[in-house]
Structure 1
Amino acid sequence: MQLISLTAFRSLGTVTGVIALLLSVSVSASVPLAAQDRASQVPADSVVALPELRVEIGRLRTGSVPVAEVPFPVNIISGSDIRGTTGPSVAGALTGSAGLSFTNQTGSPSQPDIRLRGFALSPIVGVPQGVSVFVDGVRVNEADASQVHLSLIPGTAIDRIELIRGSTGAFGKNSLAGALNVVTLRGEERSVEMVLEGGSFETLKATARGSESLGSFDGIVTGSYDRSSGWRQLSSTEEISLFAKIGGRGERTDGWLSYSFASHHLEGAGPLPESWLDGGPLPPDITDPPDDRRELQYTGGSGDMFRPVLHFLSGRIERELGDAWTLQANAYGRLVDFRQSNDNITEPDALGLTNIRTVGSTAQVSYEPTGRLITTAGVEWTRNDVEIEIRELPNRTFPSLTP
């Protein structure tokens, strides 16, 4: 697959611009980079200073702790590393992490099934979930079955991802294998960035980001559009994502308000029996198979389809009450609608309609007298309203439905 990427970046404060056109092809070379030093050329007594990495602990930020002092394994993925990949996403950023395995049960590349320490982080309803996922302190495991749709988290707006391994009580239920903490960006110096990519299978990807900082106020807006017909039939993808955040910083007070929107249309053809692809016998109801057996659909219908729509409003404020005391509070509202159709062969097709409304708030007090010991106490209130409707639809095996 060939991929053409066009990137434009303009820093409005320094009036500089760079446009780069890249054509990615499979070429390898064994020429050493000029900037690399051979091990024999590095003095034995040299010291390499690495930047300090710090991890936030708790639902809301509680100061931060150096990675070397955290009592459990942590992986930190920076936002710059995520945005440097093709089609930035949370799932794509995690693919390079050790100890994670990826499978795909839905047939859609946007819905991977991830395993960590034998526990699942999956979009599939009914799979026991063992990882809690948070975005700016808000739990985004769905209220009906604790499943997680990572594609609804805007990859273009991520400041960093913290993968905390091991059972961690501070993150609550579904944290047997650990927790995934996603922190979104704040506005910085004035800049505009746009990326446009295109390739095989009608692939089109576009991202844009604008940032501004004026005195004590800051803001950022990001958006992305991703479309592809897929490398096989009935596997098209269309994803739209928007994110905006405004904030303000004072001498002792910091606060922000953010909004996320996502609308996806994901098709999943599902797997085929190997015998079908090898020319083996087909079920008797498939009377006119295609010449290319890769076009076969196991259930014989139009494939599975998943359409989520998300509206997510969140805000947080932090106030230093003294040299050692800090008060933090957040409030959020999350509205998500799922429309999912499933082809069946042993029963009528199914159409699932799920509406989830979540509102909540968290307050937390932190006490850090020495810089080495942090004590926190907090309270959380959450209300979930879930409506689920499942309809039966006729198919070729069940052309009519009995009331």
Structure 2
Amino acid sequence: MNDKPNFTLKKSAVLATLITATLSAQAEETINRASAMELPDLDVVGTTPLPGTGLPIEKYAGNVQLIDSETIEEQNAVDLSETLFRNIGSIDINSSQNNPYQNDVHYRGFLASPLVGSAIGVSAFVDGVRVNEGFGDTVNWDLIPDFAISNISLIPGSNPLFGLNTLGGALSLQTKSGFQFDGTQLSLSIGDFGRRELTLEHGGNKGNFDYYFGGNLFKEDGWRQRSPSDVRQIFSKVGWENEVTDIDLSYTFADNDLIGNGFVPESHLAADRASVYTFPDQTKNSMHFVNLRGSHWFKR
């Protein structure tokens, strides 16, 4: 009897087993290598400036500077531009128009100004609405009721989220509500050069509803000849909110007459520091602004 066929069969079976084990090991190694190349899940949290999404300020990749309503009230600045100058680093102001409501605001070399023709590089938003004018992107500070501001955020850097000409940064202003301001406040101030200012605020809430109303009257003769100014501002807001939803309807009215006479030759100033060269350099601004804003948090 010949045993060679059995021996050959056994040998083939062993060889097949070895090949199968080798292929299995190679397949397992390939799977392990593929698993090593897979990255874990990554959660990306987007940020939005108008208004914020509740992201802690320390997690924002930038030097965001904040001003709260208490600081604004304590300092009692004439207008918003002066408040920015007093509280935010890298900001300086100048008054080429010689009117307290028409200052140029410079931030790191970029400009927000009411003067048409200026190279604007800073955007401004009130309750999520951009207030740069459609022509020239100028910012009329007299149309922003600073008495109604709850907080101010300055977000530095160029960001396409803020629209065109946001080269140096963006200002985001949030207004007061009846939940933040509950009560009545009346303030009166009198100063040199015929300056008088009266501000009234009233707010409250009941259940999920809240309301806020404020008005400001400003009048001065100006420190120069023929330089009077009149500012009249009204702001009102009603809202409803619960734990996940917030709806606000606001109305802003302004009717202002600003005189900001320009530069004077030194020879004129030597004779009279209060003199003017040409007059009147007059700006009349009027506005009716209605804003409906809503937000809702979707639970995961």
8 A Cα contact 2:50 2:172, kept in partner: no
Pairing of 1:9-20 with structure 2 (within 5 A): none
144-153 or 61-70, larger mean C-alpha shift: 61-70
Pairing of 1:93-104 with structure 2 (within 5 A): 93-96=83-86, 97-104=88-95
Specify whether residues 76 and 295 from structure 1 end up closer, same or farther in structure 2 by C-alpha distance, changes over 3 A only: closer
Residue 150 (structure 1) aligned to one of 114, 118, 141: 141
Does 2:126 match 1:135?
yes
- 2:79 counterpart residue number: 89
- 1:314 counterpart residue number: 291
How many equivalent residue pairs? 253
8 A Cα contact 1:168 1:176, kept in partner: yes
Deviation at 1:234, TM superposition (A): 2.0
162-171 or 257-266, larger mean C-alpha shift: 162-171
Does 2:264 match 1:272?
yes
8 A Cα contact 1:100 1:114, kept in partner: yes
Deviation at 1:173, TM superposition (A): 1.2
Structure 2 SS opposite 1:95: helix
Deviation at 1:85, TM superposition (A): 2.3
Structure 2: which amino acid aligns with 1:317? G
Q: Distance in 1 between matches of 2:75 and 2:62?
A: 28
Structure 1: which amino acid aligns with 2:260? G
8 A Cα contact 2:224 2:276, kept in partner: no
Deviation at 1:273, TM superposition (A): 1.6
Deviation at 1:67, TM superposition (A): 2.6
Residue 298 (structure 1) aligned to one of 269, 272, 277: 277
The C-alpha deviation readout for 1:336-375, integer Å capped at 9, x for no partner, is: xxxxxxxxxxxxxxxxxxxxxxxxxxxxxxxxxxxxxxxx
- 1:107 counterpart residue number: 98
8 A Cα contact 2:63 2:155, kept in partner: yes
Q: Distance in 2 between matches of 1:106 and 1:58?
A: 34
Q: Distance in 1 between matches of 2:287 and 2:143?
A: 7
8 A Cα contact 1:59 1:138, kept in partner: no
Larger Rg: 2
8 A Cα contact 2:143 2:254, kept in partner: yes
8 A Cα contact 1:235 1:268, kept in partner: yes
8 A Cα contact 1:154 1:243, kept in partner: yes
Specify whether residues 252 and 277 from structure 1 end up closer, same or farther in structure 2 by C-alpha distance, changes over 3 A only: closer
8 A Cα contact 1:57 1:64, kept in partner: no
The C-alpha deviation readout for 1:199-245, integer Å capped at 9, x for no partner, is: 22111111111011000100000111111111111221211110000
Residue 208 (structure 1) aligned to one of 192, 197, 200: 200
Structure 1: which amino acid aligns with 2:248? W
Specify whether residues 247 and 118 from structure 1 end up closer, same or farther in structure 2 by C-alpha distance, changes over 3 A only: same
Deviation at 1:87, TM superposition (A): 4.6
Structure 1 SS opposite 2:238: strand
Q: Distance in 2 between matches of 1:190 and 1:172?
A: 35
Structure 1: which amino acid aligns with 2:272? R
8 A Cα contact 2:51 2:172, kept in partner: no
Q: Distance in 2 between matches of 1:250 and 1:86?
A: 33
Pairing of 1:284-295 with structure 2 (within 5 A): 292-295=271-274
Residue 233 (structure 1) aligned to one of 212, 221, 225: 225
Does 2:183 match 1:195?
no
The C-alpha deviation readout for 1:12-57, integer Å capped at 9, x for no partner, is: xxxxxxxxxxxxxxxxxxxxxxxxxxxxxxxxxxxxxxxxxxxx94
- 2:21 counterpart residue number: none
More helix by proportion, 1 or 2?
2
Structure 2 SS opposite 1:160: strand
Structure 2: which amino acid aligns with 1:127? S
Q: Distance in 2 between matches of 1:322 and 1:106?
A: 51
The C-alpha deviation readout for 1:162-203, integer Å capped at 9, x for no partner, is: 011111222121111000000001112641110011122111
8 A Cα contact 1:233 1:269, kept in partner: no
Structure 1: which amino acid aligns with 2:176? L
Q: Distance in 1 between matches of 2:96 and 2:294?
A: 40
Structure 1 SS opposite 2:82: helix
- 1:40 counterpart residue number: none
- 1:80 counterpart residue number: 70
Q: Distance in 2 between matches of 1:239 and 1:195?
A: 16
Structure 1, unaligned runs of 5 or more: 1-55, 279-291, 324-403
TM-score, length of structure 2 as denominator length:
0.80
